[in-house]
Chain A
Amino acid sequence: MSDFSLWIIVKNLIWATQWTVILSLIAFVGGGIVGMILLFLRTSQVKWLEVPTKLYIEFFQGTPLLMQLFLFFFGVALFGIEVSPWMAAGLALTLWTSAFLTEIWRGCVEAVPKGQWEASASVAMSYIEQMRYVILPQAMRIAIAPTVGFSVQVIKGTALASIIGFVELTKAGTMLNNATFRPFLVYSLVALIYFCLCFPLSWFAKRLEGRLNVAR
């Protein structure tokens, strides 16, 4: 126990925090890109594009993230596809994030008044053009607050990657607990670090939301 001073615990946790941050960024950026593609499919009004997208969203929103991680990590690899904890965690979190972001953004797109669609259609804009020049710029304004808010869920979601052996903040916490036998201290510190990562984002999201309401 003597070789684990408080400082070493803190140092190791902070070191592990970088992986939480990196994994969160991968999931958020990747999820954003996939989510944007899905948003186009989902709002395309083309049945055979919409239905699979809907099922995809249903699957990732309707099953536990933990199950998705297990499936990607242990399940898919059985078929001979190499999956490192990195890939499994990154991929599962990306797909999970994309499903939620698509739904959030779809809500924002639908909040844009119908007249805007009709007006842009009347000047012979294609669907992509309508989205690009008319709908998205307006939807984006309302989308910022819930999107920032969801980033907090992504950061917290990365904690589950610890269960498939990805060494990030939570995993480092359990490892240090095993080496020091000071669970109260270790998990308090882990919680504190997550709080420091998430609270500013939550606060920012709330402020954006408030400002938007005033503007309307």
Chain B
Amino acid sequence: MTYHLEFSALLPYWQDLAWGLLFTIVLTVVSTAVGIAVGTLGASARTFGPAWLSGIVRVYVELIRNTPFIVQLFFIFFGLPALGLRLTETTAAFVAMVVNLGAYSTEIIRAGIEATPKGHIEAGVSLAMSRLEVLRYIVLRQAFAKIYPALSSQIVIVMLGSAVVSQISAPDLTYAANFIQSRNFRAFEVYFVVALIYLVLAIVLRYVLRVIGDRFVKVS
């Protein structure tokens, strides 16, 4: 059998792709911002918090890092309603992304915090800085500079992983691809083009993260 490629079969659906792309971008940006905030809190609690809090954060991090994202997503979307917590597919997608990135960034930022020389903290304390000020101006600032590359690649990984939210009907780029495929039965063309869109997205994201890093996170 001979299969003729026909990329023009995608043209009538360009709007679906555009909306899907927008959803994926918004999903990534928002969950990155919130996820890193969660990770910062988590890492601080893990290093400086009381033992019970540190323990809880540790369990959270290990649970998330050692189970597949798709299972977490199904658990949140299909499982939690049994406990009376019902989230729409879009909310569930955002929550799952934040929970996931939160766990990874907790671990990454914690490594950065632990690498902060003890002397710097003591110096801060001797300058009569409060504990919070030491954390904010000395520990976290240095930690971020150190782990910024690791955090950046994790963000790209999470963006690519977000393709899975299509499985709970969240209207992302992959959802659009699946929808088009079910209408024109042009599987190769659709998935190939969408894979390239993701590739461009990953390259752009990496670039943007580097620019942000150069400007705001001084790498010493």
- Where the two chains meet, the residues of A that have a C-beta atom closer than 8 Å to any C-beta of B are 58-59, 61-68, 70-71, 74-76, 78-80, 152, 156-157, 159-160, 162-163, 170, 173-174, 177, 182-184, 186-188, 190-191, 194-195, 198-199, 202
Contacts and interface: CB of A to CB of B under 8 A. Distances in A.
A62 B198 contact: yes
Contact of A199 (B62, B69, B162, B166): B62
Contact of B83 (A61, A68, A159, A184): A184
A29 B84 CA distance: 43
Given A74-B187, A80-B1, A67 B71 contact: no
Nearest to B166: A66
Nearest to B70: A159
A67 B195 contact: yes
B41 interface: no
A183 B72 contact: no
23 contacts: A62-B202, A63-B195, A63-B199, A64-B160, A64-B198, A67-B194, A70-B177, A71-B195, A79-B3, A152-B66, A159-B68, A159-B69, A159-B71, A160-B68, A162-B70, A170-B71, A183-B74, A184-B79, A194-B66, A194-B67, A194-B68, A195-B67, A198-B67
A14 to B, nearest CB: 16
B78 interface: yes
Nearest to A61: B202
Contacts of B188: 71, 74-76, 78-79
Contacts of B65: 152, 198, 202
B56 interface: no
Contacts of B187: 70, 74-75, 78
A80 B177 CA distance: 22
B55 interface: no
Contacts of A195: 62-63, 66-67
Interface centre among B62, B162, B163 (most CB of A within 10 A): B163
B174 interface: yes
B81 to A, nearest CB: 8
B167 interface: yes
Interface residues of B, number: 43
Contacts of B199: 58-59, 62-63
B79 A160 contact: no
A31 B129 CA distance: 51
Given A62-B198, A183-B74, A195-B63, A156 B82 contact: no
B161 interface: yes
Interface of B is mostly: helix
Contacts of A188: 75, 79
B199 to A, nearest CB: 4
B125 interface: no
A194 B71 contact: yes
B164 interface: yes
A163 B202 CA distance: 23
Contacts of A177: 78
A99 B65 CA distance: 21
Given A163-B167, A190-B71, A195-B63, A67 B3 contact: no
A187 B3 contact: no
Interface string B155-170: 0100011111011000
Contacts of A74: 181, 187-188, 191
B4 to A, nearest CB: 10
Contact of A78 (B3, B68, B167, B198): B3
Given A75-B191, A78-B3, A78-B187, A191 B75 contact: yes
B26 interface: no
Nearest to B72: A191
Ranked nearest first, the 10 interchain pairs of A and B with the lowest CB-CB distance are A159-B68, A75-B188, A74-B187, A64-B163, A198-B66, A184-B82, A183-B78, A62-B202, A156-B68, A187-B75
